[in-house]
Amino acid sequence: MTAETGLAALWLAAALAALQVFLATLVLRRSVAGGATAVRAVAIVQGALAAAAMVALIAVFLASDMSVALVAANSHSMKPWLYKFAGAWGNHEGSMLLWVTILGLAGAAVARFEQRLAERTLVATLAAQAAIALGFYAFLLFASNPFARLQPAPADGAGLNPLLQDPGLAFHPPTLYAGYVGLSVAFSFAVGTLVTRDVGPAFARAMRPWVLGAWVFLTLGITAGSYWAYYELGWGGWWFWDPVENASLMPWLAATALLHSVTVLATRDGLRAWTVMLAVVAFSMSMIGTFLVRSGILTSVHAFAVDPTRGTFILALLVLYIGGALALFGARVGTVRQGKLFEPFSREGSLVANNLLLTVILGIVLIGTFYPIVAGAFGTQLSVGPPFFDKAAGPIALILVAVMAAGPLMRWRRDDAGEVLGRLFAPIGAALFAGAGAFVLGGPIGVLPLAGIALAAGLAVASVAPLTKRNLARAPLHLWGMVIAHLGVAVALAGMAASTAWTQEALLAVGVGDPARVAGFTVRLEGVRPVVGQNWTALEGRLSVTRGDAAPYVLRPQVRYFTQPVTTTNESAIATHVDGQFYAVLGALGDDGRWQLRLWWKPFVTLIWAGGALIAIGGALSLVGHQYRLFRQGRRRAEGDA
């Protein structure tokens, strides 16, 4: 029954989305009295119905209702409840439903709370949002029904990929989706303003909280995903330039650019066309990224061979939405009045440089991700990996960091190069000092890591500079947000550079009781014993680790064997020190009775994720700061009226 209720809710939501598009078109053609109110109401109910469908899906997963095909294929009655819960979106159909649910809820939130935008623009925005939702409802209902029944029902399910059985990962997809779909609102705003030719600061201010919120979620999602790959895959790396990772990085890069250009539009009324363009691109990247990964063109082995209709369907939707928005952009943007102009050497100028550099990096990642398909078209099978991305994107990212250090210290509209250089005295000094220190003390570490360390130090000093000579208690919250986010970039960059430069690795075969040494650590394998979990068994190594004269501690890396489905995973064991992490992976037992052991010392690697968290916190503070200011302005106005 629950499954049928969910399906019914999904059909109703789809019907309401169609109604929303129709009503909104009517309102835009000729003013209908109360039309906008009706469109808002429909949007809210549509969001609620989509959420009801998602709740129904979660309910059948929690109840382990094996007569629902999706549950049978992706869950198992023996699984811990958290993974039954997360299993609802740990598959193609469920994740698509989660996607439209967030899309519908975001549309409902715009309908309920947005008060600043001109009514016609809001109606056009809600129409765009409903049009996107409609396509994905159709996709769910006709090509990926999550509620399809299985006749006869199997005795039990097939299980969830054990790599995904991790508490962190249960909340990874919803986080990323919230980010992707937040960008859909920016996209709809852009389409809405193009339709009503109403590009200006009001549109930018309405869009900004959505971009900020989406960007915070994307940052959190990418940071968490990176840490998950680091400890769960057991390869010791934190970024692999894998298509799935690139799919989340591309929208983030576009959103970062958008975040900065929307500020120029909101405060200085500049960069009008460019901001609209970026809003379209950011969500386009979300769609292209997610669905190319989902479709399996790039990574997965089977998805397409099994069901080519799905891929065609998605491609048609992409052409419709992205192509439609870009065509609208091409046709309408000429009528957008030019915004305010500014001198190249100014805060705006630095933000333009930031945007251009981010766009170049985005282009590099996009080309690198798609190149294997293009090469495949000419009969060459290849994969593009870290050597390309590091070399191509690394130097540009470092230039971007330099711009990032200088930008916030420049004045709006126009600034003097000599004065800016004066303000940059301390950051440049810090960069030279850190660079020289790393060069002298750190040994030969390569140009990029060295530049990374120097620039991280410079950026750290520069990013807190806007707070100096200010009364800290009175500094606006969004300024704190920027300072913390930029500081986060410096922290993350320091972690990346230091761990790249000074990681030490050892692959050993050790007998029980033999000591092994790596990077000042002494490791002794004390024994290997079997352990049992709820749905896995494992061999667990007991490692006694001593660093210098400190007291020894125990690490327990595992090789886990899951039964449903049969899979082996390496559970790394990680000890966090103040200055880095010690990382141990247990391998196979050799013929000679010795165990393979992979050990890493990764100095300052934790800074990468700490930096990511700081960036997200900065974004959140900025969001709260902007909203709080609006709230106060609104209240002051209300008091003035009274």
Q: Write out the residues near other proteins by the rule CB under 8 A.
A: 273, 277, 280-281, 284, 288, 292, 295, 297, 301, 304-305, 308, 311-312, 315, 318-319, 322-323, 326-327, 329-330, 333-334, 338, 366, 370, 373-374, 376-377, 381, 588, 591
| Contact in structure between 488 and 618 (CB atoms under 8 Å) | yes
633: CB partners within 8 A, 6+ apart: none
For residue 584, how far is the Cα from the chain centroid? Answer: 28
Between 366 and 464, CB nearer to other proteins: 366
Cβ 412 to other proteins shortest distance, Å: 23
Between 77 and 312, CB nearer to other proteins: 312
Cβ 100 to other proteins shortest distance, Å: 22
Between 376 and 437, CB nearer to other proteins: 376
Cβ 313 to other proteins shortest distance, Å: 11
Let me know how long the chain is.
642
Q: How many helices (H) and strands (E) does the chain have?
A: 21, 10
SS (H, E, C) 78-124: CCCHHHHHHHCCCCHHHHHHHHHHHHHHHHHHHHHHCCCCCHHHHHH
Cβ 277 to other proteins shortest distance, Å: 6
Report which DSSP code applies to 542: E
Instruction: Name residue 530's beta-bridge partners.
Output: 539
Between 106 and 297, CB nearer to other proteins: 297
Measured between alpha carbons, how far is 514 from 594 in angstroms, rounded to an integer?
10
Cβ 297 to other proteins shortest distance, Å: 5
Between 297 and 352, CB nearer to other proteins: 297
Between 442 and 587, CB nearer to other proteins: 587
Dihedrals phi, psi of 149, to nearest 5 degrees: -90, 160
Instruction: Name residue 569's beta-bridge partners.
Output: 560
Cβ 192 to other proteins shortest distance, Å: 18
Cβ 392 to other proteins shortest distance, Å: 18
| Contact in structure between 150 and 68 (CB atoms under 8 Å) | yes
Cβ 194 to other proteins shortest distance, Å: 11
Cβ 533 to other proteins shortest distance, Å: 24
| Contact in structure between 556 and 541 (CB atoms under 8 Å) | yes
For residue 299, how far is the Cα from the chain centroid? Answer: 19
119: CB partners within 8 A, 6+ apart: 36
Between 323 and 446, CB nearer to other proteins: 323
Cβ 255 to other proteins shortest distance, Å: 17
| Contact in structure between 546 and 522 (CB atoms under 8 Å) | yes
Dihedrals phi, psi of 570, to nearest 5 degrees: -100, 115
Report the 10 Å Cβ neighbour count for 467.
Answer: 14
639: CB partners within 8 A, 6+ apart: none
Between 198 and 307, CB nearer to other proteins: 307
Between 327 and 432, CB nearer to other proteins: 327
Dihedrals phi, psi of 242, to nearest 5 degrees: -85, 150
Between 233 and 273, CB nearer to other proteins: 273
